[in-house]
Structure 1
Amino acid sequence: MKSVLIVDDEPGIQAFFQRGLTSRFDVIETAGDAATATAMLERCHFDLILSDIRLPDCTGVEWVSSVRDKGNLIPVIFITAYASLETAIEALRVGALDFILKPFRLEQVLAAIDRCLENQQLKRENFVLRRELEQHRQIGGIIGECEAVHSVCQIIRQVAPMPSTVLIEGESGTGKELAARAIHELSGRGGNFVSLNCGAVSPELLESELFGHVKGSFTGAHQAREGLFAYANGGTLFLDEIGEMPLAMQVHLLRVLEEQRIRPVGSNRETPIDVRIVAATNRELLQEVKQSRFRQDLFYRLNVLSIRLPPLRERGRDTEVLAQHFINRLATELGVMPLALDKSEILRLQDYAWPGNVRELKNVIERALLLGVMPSQCLTGTPQKRSSAVIADDEALLLEEVEKRHILRVLEREDGNKSAAARVLGVSRKTLERKLQAWALA
């Protein structure tokens, strides 16, 4: 039921609105002054207020301002016979959605009301959509619905306020830097978040990049420069692909972690620092330790708290959630029309193995938007599908069993709708029903 409060001291105006607004509102109440209107607002809810600018006990703007001060955000339309630019500005300042001049026609008022109610409906829908998005966007931009992502977000919330080092493990493209940024954002540390890919800097320059150098300390050092540890002081230093760090450099990093002091290249002076280290790797560091490619003491120093990011192929419906997120975001950024993914297209994306994980999915969506084609048409190479990967683990499966598993999985995703499942499978409904009967599942 929709309700409106009319605030005007003219009985004729009150009667006019009571007769004319019955097509828009189920409840129409009137008040002749601000005091009466305030008392009515305290007793019940209204979807809209129509108020005169001039009221016996104060101006309509002053009254609405007091209503807003109490936290009441009911939409307001002002009506007046005495308009001025100053009055209009004051009305907008207190949040009025429209401004109607007397004398007016009923059609004019109804149009203003429709615009106002539509605006409110859009605000509610946007609020709901934002809440839904926040359910997917757990923390720090991490998006997902699967249990593994929920677990990652819970761990991040727990470890973020602690000063301990964190090791993030996961395949390339799973969002390790995103997780590191989330840890920093929730840490409460006031310093910067500084990122370095250890594999992207030559071993000769890595020490200078991290710790800085003094003038003349090596060829090309024409002036002194601070390192990334200095820039991250009071904040977080994210060392991506830590497994790529040379062994000699690992010794220096271990000393810094233990002593919380750095020494620029070519300097005899050590500087105390307060930097939280978050490291990431797509390698099995313990295996690297066994093969003497990574220092054991540094591994255990970094692995105080560990977080494993799941690959996209293990995240179920998150493929669809992420694809839709990237479509909406990138379509706006690129200025192109978004794509509509039907169930068969979603199934193709979910069946793909995504060796490049979320990063690959984002690139595929961007390519599809630029070319105006479906994302599945932009998949490169022929990586093993998830369905095939499961089958490969059991070489004893017969082709008929493979077909049965695939058909039943599609049927389950279509909520048992045989016609829809047949369309996805590319067969007739009659053929599908015949196979189900043969398996005693019809």
Structure 2
Amino acid sequence: MDTSFLPPSPERTLEGWPDWSILIVDDEQGMLNFLVKTLAPRCHFVMSAGSAEDGAQWLRGHHVDLVILDISLPGKSGVVWLKELREQGFTGEVILITAFADLDTAIEALRAGASDFILKPFRVPQILNAVKHCYERSRLRRENFVLRRAVTSAPGRGAVLGSSEAMQQLRTSIDRVAAVDSTVLLQGESGTGKELVARELHARSSRASGPFVPVNCAGMSPELIESELFGHAKGAFAGATRARDGLFHYAQGGTLFLDEIAELPLPIQATLLRAIEDLNIRPVGSEQLVPLNLRIVAATNRQLSDEVAAGRFRKDLFFRLEVVDLTLPPLREHKDDIAELAAHFIDQLAPSLGVDPLTISETEMDFLHQYHWPGNVRELRNLIERSLILGSLNVSALYPGDARAPDTRTVPTDLHTLEKLHILSVLESVQGDKTRAAQLLGVSRRTLERRVAEWGSP
């Protein structure tokens, strides 16, 4: 097999695609030497082969981002092999080169799945421009996928907020951790903002220009989770009619956020551990190893050490993830931030809902401080959103049953507050219909409106 390999050169000068792996297939040794000499100093590594058969053998065991392929080869032609590669699910870029071509040949090459078509002889700038063009196509395709995913998964919140000591310490930790590339484990109750912190870590890191890919491990089918994460080859399992890249691929150069990581089945935990330690993945049903260039941030609302003790989580994976451990405080431990958070959510949500901002009175704020907040910041945000829709602070929604009621010593006993809570509860039950609410309360609509006006609410 006439195959050679050149490792990356320290003088990588072509900005934008230094991590690419390139396979050159040409039966002319002079052309191989020229392309290898041109590309080896400017990319991750370069491989070369003298025939389609040799190139196919190399691809069976290695990951390749780009194939530069001569049309006229001994044995199988470049166009025939390209068609086979696409049928087998190869998703990388392909540049076809030839010394003898006409319009029909060029059309056939593009229909076969070529990314570009170059006539020999060509100069260094031509091949470099062609490779950079392919890199941009690949990058845009990946970014489009990430953007489509972000539209449905982004939490739509601002930066990490709060002036309490707990939140100031958290921001300090984020600043320190973002500067390194280590794996991070975020622990905290549901609703404390773990994805928000993960996005902050990404935005402040050296990978900020790369993609941020969030993955809800609890929301993936156990049967397909390995394929979703690592991708699969054509025919890897029933229904795999074509090859597919996994989420690890789309996070290359950026950050992969594995939320609810405690939900991963034990066999997948073992595969994930190997990927983190070896810095490569193997798609399901494939023999190719794909090198990784990303940062992993994991999150869980469980205590992972307890999961390890119970045998539900691998100890070695836990230690590998816990290189840096950040624990997010529940809202009940930094209630001093409630006013700031509520104001932020009002400013953020009112314009998008098309309603007037809300004014929260001191009495209402006291209620917010008395509450235990089992749903944390997410619950506060949901409360503000419902209240904006109804036109008044929906405090009664915090006390639907005894299980969520505050301690009896903190329940208000003054008549004014109890009257207000009752009126708000009735208004909510009739979706803000003041006429119907007045009938249920046994008062006139004018009396009800006067009461509501006294609270500064519409």
Tell me the TM-score normalised to structure 2 length.
Answer: 0.54
Superposed CA RMSD: 2.4
Counterpart in 2 of 1:245?
Answer: 264
Counterpart in 1 of 2:186?
Answer: 168
Tell me how far apart the structure 1 counterparts of residues 257 and 246 of structure 2 sit (CA, whole Å): 13
Contact 1:140 1:179 in 2 (8 A): no
* Superposition deviation, residue 150 in structure 1: 0.7
Are positions 1:147 and 2:165 aligned together?
A: yes
> What's the CA shift string for 1:316-350, capped at 9, x where partnerless?
22112111111121111111011110100001111
Are positions 1:349 and 2:368 aligned together?
A: yes
Other structure's SS at 1:336 match: coil
Contact 2:179 2:206 in 1 (8 A): yes
2:196 to 155, 166, 178: 178
Structure 1 unaligned segments of length 5 or more: list them: 1-138, 392-401, 411-420, 427-442
2:174 to 146, 150, 156: 156
1:326 to 345, 355, 360: 345
Other structure's SS at 1:237 match: strand
Counterpart in 2 of 1:187?
Answer: 205
Counterpart in 1 of 2:30?
Answer: none
Structure 1 residue identity aligned to 2:364: E
> What's the CA shift string for 1:109-136, capped at 9, x where partnerless?
xxxxxxxxxxxxxxxxxxxxxxxxxxxx
Contact 1:242 1:280 in 2 (8 A): yes
Other structure's SS at 2:161 match: coil
Are positions 1:297 and 2:320 aligned together?
A: no
Counterpart in 2 of 1:265?
Answer: 284
Counterpart in 2 of 1:233?
Answer: 252
Tell me how far apart the structure 1 counterparts of residues 402 and 251 of structure 2 sit (CA, whole Å): 40
Structure 2 residue identity aligned to 1:202: S
Structure 1 residue identity aligned to 2:202: H
Contact 1:353 1:384 in 2 (8 A): no
Tell me how far apart the structure 2 counterparts of residues 140 and 179 of structure 1 sit (CA, whole Å): 10
* Superposition deviation, residue 383 in structure 1: 6.3
Tell me how far apart the structure 2 counterparts of residues 337 and 377 of structure 1 sit (CA, whole Å): 21
Counterpart in 1 of 2:378?
Answer: 359
Tell me how far apart the structure 2 counterparts of residues 186 and 194 of structure 1 sit (CA, whole Å): 15
Contact 1:351 1:385 in 2 (8 A): no
* Superposition deviation, residue 423 in structure 1: 7.5
Other structure's SS at 1:195 match: strand
Contact 2:211 2:254 in 1 (8 A): yes
> What's the CA shift string for 1:395-432, capped at 9, x where partnerless?
xxxxxxx58xx99xx9xxxxxxxxxx997799xxxxxx
Contact 1:355 1:383 in 2 (8 A): no
Counterpart in 2 of 1:372?
Answer: 391
Contact 2:398 2:404 in 1 (8 A): no
Tell me how far apart the structure 2 counterparts of residues 267 and 230 of structure 1 sit (CA, whole Å): 14
Tell me how far apart the structure 1 counterparts of residues 158 and 171 of structure 2 sit (CA, whole Å): 9
Contact 1:320 1:350 in 2 (8 A): no
Tell me how far apart the structure 2 counterparts of residues 256 and 303 of structure 1 sit (CA, whole Å): 16
Structure 1 residue identity aligned to 2:280: R
Contact 2:280 2:291 in 1 (8 A): yes
Structure 1 residue identity aligned to 2:296: I
Structure 2 residue identity aligned to 1:163: D
Counterpart in 1 of 2:226?
Answer: 207
Structure 2 residue identity aligned to 1:319: I
Contact 1:289 1:295 in 2 (8 A): yes
Q: How does 1:27-426 map to 2 (within 5 A)?
A: 141-189=159-207, 190-379=209-398, 381-382=400-401, 388=407
Tell me how far apart the structure 2 counterparts of residues 178 and 141 of structure 1 sit (CA, whole Å): 7
Other structure's SS at 1:213 match: coil
Contact 1:263 1:270 in 2 (8 A): yes
Tell me how far apart the structure 2 counterparts of residues 263 and 336 of structure 1 sit (CA, whole Å): 51
Tell me how far apart the structure 1 counterparts of residues 295 and 158 of structure 2 sit (CA, whole Å): 18
Tell me how far apart the structure 2 counterparts of residues 383 and 281 of structure 1 sit (CA, whole Å): 28
> What's the CA shift string for 1:43-64, capped at 9, x where partnerless?
xxxxxxxxxxxxxxxxxxxxxx
Structure 2 unaligned segments of length 5 or more: list them: 1-156, 420-458
Say if 1:148 and 1:299 are closer, same or farther in 2 by CA, change over 3 A: same
Structure 2 residue identity aligned to 1:155: S
* Superposition deviation, residue 380 in structure 1: 5.2
Tell me how far apart the structure 2 counterparts of residues 323 and 297 of structure 1 sit (CA, whole Å): 41
* Superposition deviation, residue 188 in structure 1: 1.4
Structure 2 residue identity aligned to 1:237: L
Other structure's SS at 1:150 match: helix
Tell me how far apart the structure 2 counterparts of residues 330 and 194 of structure 1 sit (CA, whole Å): 25
Structure 1 residue identity aligned to 2:240: A
> What's the CA shift string for 1:137-156, capped at 9, x where partnerless?
xx961111111111111001
Residues matched between the structures, number: 262
* Superposition deviation, residue 382 in structure 1: 3.6
Structure 1 residue identity aligned to 2:265: P
Tell me how far apart the structure 1 counterparts of residues 401 and 334 of structure 2 sit (CA, whole Å): 20
Say if 1:256 and 1:347 are closer, same or farther in 2 by CA, change over 3 A: same
> What's the CA shift string for 1:45-101, capped at 9, x where partnerless?
xxxxxxxxxxxxxxxxxxxxxxxxxxxxxxxxxxxxxxxxxxxxxxxxxxxxxxxxx
Tell me the TM-score normalised to structure 1 length.
Answer: 0.56
Tell me how far apart the structure 2 counterparts of residues 383 and 192 of structure 1 sit (CA, whole Å): 44
Tell me how far apart the structure 2 counterparts of residues 368 and 333 of structure 1 sit (CA, whole Å): 14
Tell me how far apart the structure 2 counterparts of residues 291 and 165 of structure 1 sit (CA, whole Å): 24
